C-alpha cells in the first residue's frame, strides 16, 4: 500500500481521519514514515549494507507491514517482538542481536524500531479491527485492551504467571506507572506503553560501547486504519554513537512542519 492509497482511504472515511488526527496529530502513512527515517539516517552513515535492523513490536499479525518495511529498508532484521511491543529480550537477546551486526571500519550499526500499536476503525472507533475471516471486530492491541478492562473491573492479577509471562510483564510495567485508582482508556494506555518501551530500550542499549556501536532508535505508535492502511505516529527518533556526541542526538525529521508527540526524555535507570 502506497502513501497515496493510505491518504485516499483517509479521505474516504472522514470519521477515521478525524480520530486519527485528533488522537495522533502528525501521523503519517507507513511508507512515508519509513522512507523519511531511512533518508534521514543515510546522512549519518546508516545504509542497508552496513546496518542491521532490529524491531520490537507486538506479535499481532496486523503489525506485519511494519516488520516487512523494516526488512525491506534494512535487510536482515533481529526479531525482538513480544506482546504489545514490550522489550523482553534482555541482555542475552541484546548480546545475540549486537553480535550479528555488520562491522565496517571498526563500526557496527543497527536501527531499532520499537513501538506499540492500536487500531482505528472506518467509523473512528478506537481499538477496533476487522480481521479477515472473522465476522465480529476484535481489539488491537489486545494485550493493552485486556489491561484497560482489568483496570475498569478493578480486578488485576499481580502474580507472576510463568504460563503467561509476556502479559505479566506488560501488566506489571504499566501498573508501576499508574496511581492507585487511575482509570485509563486505550489511547492513554497505548501512549504510556510507548513511553515504557522507549525507557526500556534506552536502558537496554545504555550498556553498549558507543565507540563501536552506532545506532538509531525510532519510536512511535503503529496505527491500523481501514482497508489495512497503516500509519505511524512519530514519537521519538535519535541516533547514538561517539561521533554524534555524548548524548542521544535527536533527528528533527518529523518536527519540521508537522507536530510531533511528546519527546520521550526517560533517562536510563541507575544500575
For residue 23, the minimal CB distance to Zn ion (Å) is 17
d(CA 62, CA 141): 10
Q: Which of 141, 187, 193, 235 binds Zn ion (CB under 5 A)?
A: 141
Name which of 24 and 254 has its Cβ closer to Zn ion.
24
Task: For 244, list phi and psi in degrees, rounded to 5.
Answer: -100, 0
Question: What are the CA-CA distances from residue 154 to residues 45, 148, 158, 173, 183 (Å)?
Answer: 50, 10, 12, 17, 9
- Number of other CB atoms surrounding residue 55 within 10 Å: 23
Length of the chain: 271
Of residues 35, 77, 82, the one with CA closest to residue 56? 82
| Stretch of 29-37, 137-145, 179-187, 214-222 contacting Zn ion, by CB under 5 A | 137-145
Using the rule CB under 5 A, give the single segment among 128-136, 141-149, 175-183, 224-232 that binds Zn ion.
Answer: 141-149
CB of 108 to Zn ion, least distance (A): 30
9/58 with CB nearer Zn ion: 58
Q: Half-sphere exposure (CA, 13 Å, Cβ side) for 71?
A: 9
Minimum CB distance to Zn ion, residue 266 (Å):
22
Q: Which is nearer to Zn ion, 17 or 60 (CB)?
A: 60
CB of 82 to Zn ion, least distance (A): 10
Nearest approach, Cβ of residue 81 and Zn ion (Å)? 10
Is 145 among the residues that bind Zn ion (CB under 5 A)? no
Report in angstroms how near the CB of residue 138 gets to Zn ion at its nearest: 10
Give the separation between CA 14 and CA 103, rounded to whole angstroms.
Answer: 48
Q: For residue 94, how many other CB atoms are within 10 A of its CB? A: 20
Give the number of other Cβ atoms within 10 Å of residue 39's Cβ. Answer: 11
Q: Annotate 39-54 with DSSP letters as a single string.
A: HHHHTTT--GGGEEEE
Identify residues 60-119 at the interface with Zn ion (CB under 5 A). 60
x/- map, 36-65, Zn ion, by CB under 5 A:
----------------------x-x-----
**Interface with Zn ion: number of residues (CB under 5 A):** 3
List residues binding Zn ion (CB under 5 A): 58, 60, 141
Amino acid at each position: 500500500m502506497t502513501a497515496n492509497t493510505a491518504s485516499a482511504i483517509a479521505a474516504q472515511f472522514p470519521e477515521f481521519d478525524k480520530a486519527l488526527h485528533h488522537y495522533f496529530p502528525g501521523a503519517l502513512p507507513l511508507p512515508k514514515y519509513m522512507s523519511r527515517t531511512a533518508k534521514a539516517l543515510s546522512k549519518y552513515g546508516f545504509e542497508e549494507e552496513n546496518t542491521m535492523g532490529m524491531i520490537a513490536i507486538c506479535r499481532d499479525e496486523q503489525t506485519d507491514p511494519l516488520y516487512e518495511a523494516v526488512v525491506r529498508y534494512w535487510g536482515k532484521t533481529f526479531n525482538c517482538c513480544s506482546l504489545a511491543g514490550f522489550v523482553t529480550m534482555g541482555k542475552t537477546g541484546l548480546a545475540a542481536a549486537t553480535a550479528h551486526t555488520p562491522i565496517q571500519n571498526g563500526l557496527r550499526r543497527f536501527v531499532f524500531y520499537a513501538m506499540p500499536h492500536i487500531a482505528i476503525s472506518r467509523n473512528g472507533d478506537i481499538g477496533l479491527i476487522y480481521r479477515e475471516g472473522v465476522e465480529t471486530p476484535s481489539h488491537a492491541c489486545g494485550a493493552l485492551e485486556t489491561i484497560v478492562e482489568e483496570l475498569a473491573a478493578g480486578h488485576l492479577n499481580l502474580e507472576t504467571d510463568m504460563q503467561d509471562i509476556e502479559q505479566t510483564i506488560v501488566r506489571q510495567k504499566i501498573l508501576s506507572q499508574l496511581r492507585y485508582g487511575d482509570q485509563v482508556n486505550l489511547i492513554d494506555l497505548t501512549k504510556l506503553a510507548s513511553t515504557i518501551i522507549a525507557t526500556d530500550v534506552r536502558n537496554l542499549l545504555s550498556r553498549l560501547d558507543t565507540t563501536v556501536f552506532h545506532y538509531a532508535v525510532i519510536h512511535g505508535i503503529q496505527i491500523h486504519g481501514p482497508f489495512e492502511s497503516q500509519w505511524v505516529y512519530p514519537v521519538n527518533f535519535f541516533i547514538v554513537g561517539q561521533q554524534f556526541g555524548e548524548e542521544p542526538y535527536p533527528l528533527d525529521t518529523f518536527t519540521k512542519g508537522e507536530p510531533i508527540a511528546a519527546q520521550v526524555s526517560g533517562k536510563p535507570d541507575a544500575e
